[in-house]
Chain A
Amino acid sequence: MAELILISTLNGVLYGLLLFLMASGLTLIFSMMGVLNFAHASFYMLGAFLGFQISRWAGFWPALILAPVLVGLAGAMVERFGLRNVHKHGHVAELLFTFGLAFVIEELVQIVWGKSPVDFRTPALLDFPAFTVFATNYPAYKLFMLVISIAIFVGLFVMLTHTRIGLIVQAALSHPHMVAHLGHNVPFVFMSVFGVGAALAGIAGVIAGPYLVTQSSMAALLGPILFVVVVVGGLGSLQGALFASLLIGLLQTFAISVNLSLSDIFAGSGFLPQPNTLLGDLWRVTVAQIAPILPYVLLVLVLIFKPTGLFGNRET
């Protein structure tokens, strides 16, 4: 039991931090431009595939730097030549634009790398068990992912709260016109934030690529979860995004390892509905089976009972 809890906690925190790498960019972009970027998970996917390609040519470490930079540039281009032109048609048009973009990026990735998963391996330098708890080897690569994620979170937090750049970004969030009057180039700030957000998703892609599966459906699988994270945490709140990421990471990891169903809980009562009926199905569903839908249950509950999200201060 203790083993299960420890390993699940480590995995849950790791998954949560990966979610946070993406959610932080998404929530920053939302609070700045009011756009919920549907294509954010696609940048994560681009990061993974570019990371895979560059690591084949030049090794993993150059890929870790180059791929996020390329993804960030792509993100900036998307903002400059796409989103900025759509802005005049309103928020629905912006949301639809990113929706179409996600569609196109998935198709492009399929054209170049195909539909089946690619063989993206952990670098040889980190391919050893870091430590052993209760006879379970914990891979060093996972530890490396943890360290990178935490480092980026701390870096982002310090940059936003303690530097001049962070000050301008924060000011542009709430008072874009005032910031423009003070002589700052607000459209450029927007473009940079979009680019940096995309780059963060790109980093998540490169480091998650070898650990999770790198395939063309990875964006569609993760995208909805990201929305759950930013909405549950409160749109525009960085702390909220961190909290919700960890919450959902832990929730899903623990749920998957619990193989309990109602029939187990009420085994003593002697009540067992017939199989192949609706009640029979519900009675036999294990917690592990409903793990994928738990985030959405959480999303609906939060939106009903606390529409601002757990940490947000404005209505979604």
Chain B
Amino acid sequence: MRTLARIAPFPATFLTVLLLASCAAVQQGTDILAGAGKISESDRQAIAKTSQAVSATFSEITEEQEYYIGRSVAALILSQYPVYDNRVLTTYINTLGQAIVYSSDRPEIYGGYHFLVLDTEEVNALSAPGGFIFISKGLIRRCRNEEMLASILAHEVGHVCAKHGLQAIKKSRLVDAFRIIGQEAARLYGPEELAELTTAFEGALGDVVETLVVRGYDRKYEYEADELAVKFDVATGYSPMGLTDFLQTMVGDSSTAAGKGWFKTHPSADQRMEKVKNRLSAVSAVPEEAQVRTQRFQKNIAVLK
């Protein structure tokens, strides 16, 4: 009895060792722990999920897979828009983008964040999973200062951080993909598995591209990206008024670009502005817009004027 009394405080220790001893024992072990009331049901499920990794949600997509999905989505976007290949502008957009990334929720991703200008007067900004971010010439032209441009890039970085693109992928594709991933130990697939995985991959790309280019994200993701833009702007030192200023210029824009691209895939500017203003009232201290940045902005985008 004395021995038992001394062991009693350590049942979790023993079960932990048991858990770690064998992967196969994990499911069984968590059932025991849950049954004994030692861990919560959510913990038990989390352990079971980790041990099997076959459940089918976007959050199970690894960063490396996100990168491969992003590469092809980027290729598909670039098959629809030509690139505006200007070294000064590309470097400026990428440096500004990277500054925001450093203050974001997910600064390090598999292949890093990269930004490209699209050679179109259409007003648009797109972000593929895995950090491939595009902004149109037409959209940059509508910005008056660095704060406005920073807010747009921060909104797109927000979509990548929160994995909004991946959430557009239909569950059935993931079920198919994870089934094959779960059953195959090898990383190099045989023809049959490869064909099935490629079909799921193609389907996933279609889901993401349709959402980015045609349908637009669910509104709640757009509002979330606006919230993240405010957060990242402030964290980087930009005035988040850049976002409201930009949305204000978009309200009532009846140019030829209206009805296409950004206008088609985003909630109306005044609806977004209302939500962003609410958000701003919750920010304790808002950085000021700085003349030095506006001058730098004008110099770097001069090629578009």
Q: Do A and B come from one complex?
A: no
Binding site for B on A (CB under 8 A): none
Binding site for A on B (CB under 8 A): none
